[in-house]
Amino acid sequence: MRDFDLPVDIPKKSELMQQQRLWVILLTVLGFFAFILFLLSIQLGVVLSEGARQLPDIRILENYHPNQSTQLFDRDNNLIANIHGDEDRVVVPLAQISPNIQRAVMAIEDNRFYQHNGVDIKGTVRALATNFTGGDVQGGSTITQQLVKNLFLSPERSYGRKIAEAVLALRVERHYKKDKIMEMYLNQVYWGNHAYGIEKAARRYFRVPASELSVAQASLLAGLLKAPEGLSPYVYAKAARQRQLAVIAKMVEHGYITQAQAREARLEKWNLKGQEDKASKYPFFVAHVIQELMSRYGEDVVRRGGLKVYTTLNPVAQEAAEMALIKRVNELPKSSHVSNGALAAIDVNSAEIVALVGGVDFAKSQYNNATQARRAAGSQFKPFVYLTGLRLGLITPESPITDRPIHFSTGSGTWSPKNWDGRYMGAMTVRRALVLSRNTTTVQVGMKVGIDEVIKTARLAGITSPIEPNFASLLGASGIPPLEMATAFATFAREGVRMFPTAIRRVENVAGEALTIEKPIPEQVLNPDSVAQLNSILVDAVEVGTGKAARLPNRPVAGKTGTTDKVRDIWFTGYTPDLVATVWMGNEKYVPLRGVFSSDAVKVWHDFAAAYYEANGKPPTDFRGVTNTRTSGHGVTLVDLNPAEPPHEGAVELRPANPVMPSTLTPSLPAPTQSVTPSTTNGLSVNGASSAGKKAQSGGVAPPPIKSAGAKATPQPSMVSEPATPTPEPKKRLLQRLLPDKKDSSKVEVKPAAKPSASGVPPVPDPG
């Protein structure tokens, strides 16, 4: 029996029922919310599943190549330029990336890279805790997550993007090894200063490959990943330095470097490369190559396809060409109006472009005068006129011809070509006429052979620019780019073998596979004997004629000067048996030049050629059938020439405009008028009635336009002497040397001409 009562309230029945109802309500509410959560989880699963299916297939990385710059190399396989689009990148394997940069990146971006499976939960929690407590703000994305974000996702900040980033990172980790992920990451990310990928960054900031980055350099670059432009060492050096020190501290903390290495890295100077990254050391040559590549492969492949292009550029020749041209142009007074120039040089045997200068200042003008400018060729075109007569058998170098006044009816007036000095030298040989660059004799030969045949000769030699079939074209009124002119004169140097030039030796795609390119094909297009005759004349043009400033010690040089109407352009194309180069000088506004002559262009050629041969040490060789006293002790005797400079040489008066010149000569038609009766009856002269000449001089009605001879026209005995008896040439043709496996490739059905001679030309004043 209890001695006291228990202080316990016994609930009533109504109270128990009320408690039961509350529990039922509570459980019902909880069940409802649980059901809602269940439905939401199902919906979320469906959404995530659908979203996962819409995510990119990471297996495309197996064949993925990031946008890469196209690299250009010279003939010695040294890098000379990079061509890129929006992303300037060069991809390298991990084995060619310094461990220093790999460790620096892991230290500051993802120290547990080799421990996690793509998403570092522990690292994310630690980053959140650090950010919450006010420490240095840290990101929770791993290197793998950053890679997939760069490759597949937009930069937006959202939970959806973060979830997609994590899913893709897990997938990438399942399919690729860690080293491959690190390699892709380092080659993909942006490092500032227009550099994509670690190789480009290392070279742009420090002028070293990625394989040679030091701890100090690596720590600076790794620090840039947080804000490539905001931490630029060029603009924000103090901030970049603080970030670098933070990276070095992390490398010590995680055991990547010792304290001693850290001290050394802190003391090492940056020695940054200049921020401006020059597009190319040889911009005009590179621009020409880019144009060729884009025409073959398209702009997208060239700028983003990572091609390796091995060019024909000879750095010694290129630098000699640039120095020779720029030096001479800059030395001329401003009053000369010479503000620009161009030089194109071709290796004769291979047809490779060894040097190309399109102007004196690429920064001021990117217009490539060497390949794009069609400037009147002037007297440089005369060799094509004379070669036409030689190949048709109508003249030889020793044929007589008369330098005299001549007049031609144009239908609307009379055209009277004049010589540069206003004088007429009377009877002479064809050789002397071309060596002295006489205009009237050139026109006479052109009228004899026919303008169509002259144009055909130019086309066979390699001229592709338009040539108007009129009188003035005989004296070089048509525009021809320097590279094209060099191409044609290279055909002369090869004894009539044409090879269109190239600037590219080999092209490889990003996989290292060689792409198909067109190689120069040797083709015998002109009679080698006729070309040898022309070469003998053009050697004399250098030895004792207008191009004497181009002479090289113990080496034969052939060439032709050129000056155009009002001296708006001055030219010289010179060639040896192994090198041809064309020089043009003038200005973009076609303003007449003052106080300069074609000899100024000759001097540019000489400076270039002398430096070229001094550097490569090539032994001299002779043109076939051409000799002279300076190189072999035979032929022309040289005499000091009058140094006085005349006004100009070979200028062409183009007014009034000439109508189209007929291409066939009808003997019954009246001949062109003339003001002076020729003193010789066997010279190569177009004779006409003296009364017609008087009428033309007095302003009377001129005869109808003359028609010129075609290839099949019968030559008039009074206009040309018969060719000398041909002498067979037993030497092996050049084409056989260029194509040793094609024994019949040099067979050309042509009438052999007389054996050339290099003698008989007296010294003359230099007409510039």
DSSP string, 643-687: ----S-SS-----SPP-BPPSS--TTSPPPP-SS--S-SSSS---
Supply the pLDDT for residue 171. 87
Q: Are 658 and 409 in contact (CB under 8 A)?
A: no
Burial of 409: CB neighbours in 10 Å, binned 0-12, 13-18, 19+: buried
Q: Are 507 and 309 in contact (CB under 8 A)?
A: yes
Tokens representing 566? Answer: 């009002």
- The packing angle between helices 259-267 and 237-253, to 10°, is 170
Supply the pLDDT for residue 345. 98
With a cut of 90, say whether residue 566 has pLDDT above it: no
Q: How many CB atoms lie within 10 A of CB 374?
A: 14
Supply the pLDDT for residue 564. 87
With a cut of 70, say whether residue 134 has pLDDT above it: no
Q: What is the mean pLDDT of residues 458-480?
A: 93
Pairwise CA distance, residues 612 & 482, whole Å:
19
Supply the pLDDT for residue 632. 39
With a cut of 80, say whether residue 230 has pLDDT above it: yes
Residue 160: CB partners within 8 Å, gap ≥ 6?
Answer: 51
Q: Are 755 and 625 in contact (CB under 8 A)?
A: yes
Supply the pLDDT for residue 33. 74
Supply the pLDDT for residue 388. 97
Supply the pLDDT for residue 639. 32
Check residue 49 and give left, alpha or beta (phi > 0: left; psi -120 to 50: alpha). alpha
The chain-wide mean pLDDT, for the chain, equals: 78
Check residue 590 and give left, alpha or beta (phi > 0: left; psi -120 to 50: alpha). left
Please choose, from the candidates 431, 551, 577, 379, the residue with its C-alpha nearest in 3D space to the C-alpha of residue 492: 577
Burial 733-765 (b: 16+ CB within 10 A, else e): bbbbebbeeeeebbeeebebbbbbbbeebebbe
Supply the pLDDT for residue 462. 97
With a cut of 80, say whether residue 714 has pLDDT above it: no
Which single residue is written with the structure tokens 């130019």? 458
Pairwise CA distance, residues 402 & 420, whole Å:
16
Supply the pLDDT for residue 41. 67
Pairwise CA distance, residues 20 & 28, whole Å:
12
Supply the pLDDT for residue 141. 85
pLDDT, greater one: 712 or 327: 327
Q: What is the pLDDT of residues 505-517, one digit of tens each?
A: 999 998 889 998 8
- For the sheet containing 504-508, what is the strand order? 79-83, 70-73, 308-311, 504-508, 514-515
Supply the pLDDT for residue 42. 60
Provide the pLDDT confidence category of residue 408 given band limits of 50, 70 and 90: confident
Q: Which of 58-67, 508-517, 652-661 has the lowest mean pLDDT?
A: 652-661
Q: Which of 3-7, 294-298, 721-725 has the lowest mean pLDDT?
A: 721-725
The set of long-range contacts for 155-160, using a CB threshold of 8 Å and a minimum separation of 24, is 160/51
Helix (H, G, I), strand (E, B), or coil: what is residue 167? helix
Supply the pLDDT for residue 411. 79
Q: Which of 134-148, 289-303, 326-340 has the lowest mean pLDDT?
A: 134-148
With a cut of 80, say whether residue 188 has pLDDT above it: yes
With a cut of 90, say whether residue 100 has pLDDT above it: yes
Supply the pLDDT for residue 63. 64
Please choose, from the candidates 216, 204, 206, 207, the residue with its C-alpha nearest in 3D space to the C-alpha of residue 268: 216
Half-sphere exposure of 117 (CA within 13 A, CB side): 5
pLDDT, greater one: 2 or 213: 213
Supply the pLDDT for residue 245. 96
Residue 123: CB partners within 8 Å, gap ≥ 6?
Answer: 110, 111, 112, 116, 140, 142
244, amino acid identity: Q
Helix (H, G, I), strand (E, B), or coil: what is residue 46? helix
Supply the pLDDT for residue 104. 96
Strand partners, 196: 89, 190
Q: Are 306 and 510 in contact (CB under 8 A)?
A: yes
Q: Which of 311-320, 467-476, 567-576, 747-756 has the lowest mean pLDDT?
A: 747-756
Active site residues per annotation? 109, 379
Q: Which of 455-469, 552-566, 588-602, 692-706 has the lowest mean pLDDT?
A: 692-706
Q: What is the mean pLDDT of residues 531-556?
A: 94
Q: Which of 69-83, 268-282, 573-587 has the lowest mean pLDDT?
A: 268-282
Q: What is the pLDDT of residues 196-215, one digit of tens each?
A: 899 999 999 999 999 999 99
% of the chain with per-residue pLDDT over 70: 71
Chain-centre distance of CA 531, in angstroms? 31
Q: What is the pLDDT of residues 415-456, one digit of tens each?
A: 889 998 889 999 999 999 999 999 999 999 999 999 999 999
Q: To 5 degrees, how large is the angle CA 428–CA 432–CA 436?
A: 115
Pairwise CA distance, residues 566 & 611, whole Å:
32
Q: What is the pLDDT of residues 715-749, one digit of tens each?
A: 333 333 333 333 334 444 444 444 444 433 333 33
DSSP assignment of 82-143: EE-SS--B----GGGS-HHHHHHHHHHH-TTTTTSSS--HHHHHHHHHHHHTTSS------H
Tokens representing 575? Answer: 């060639």
Supply the pLDDT for residue 280. 67
Pairwise CA distance, residues 238 & 368, whole Å:
43
Provide the pLDDT confidence category of residue 175 given band limits of 50, 70 and 90: confident
Please choose, from the candidates 244, 90, 708, the residue with its C-alpha nearest in 3D space to the C-alpha of residue 446: 708
Tokens representing 375? Answer: 């400037």
Provide the pLDDT confidence category of residue 316 given band limits of 50, 70 and 90: very high
Q: Are 673 and 703 in contact (CB under 8 A)?
A: yes
Pairwise CA distance, residues 483 & 369, whole Å:
9
Q: Classify strands 308-311 and 70-73 as parallel, antiparallel or unpaired.
A: parallel
- Residue count (the chain): 768
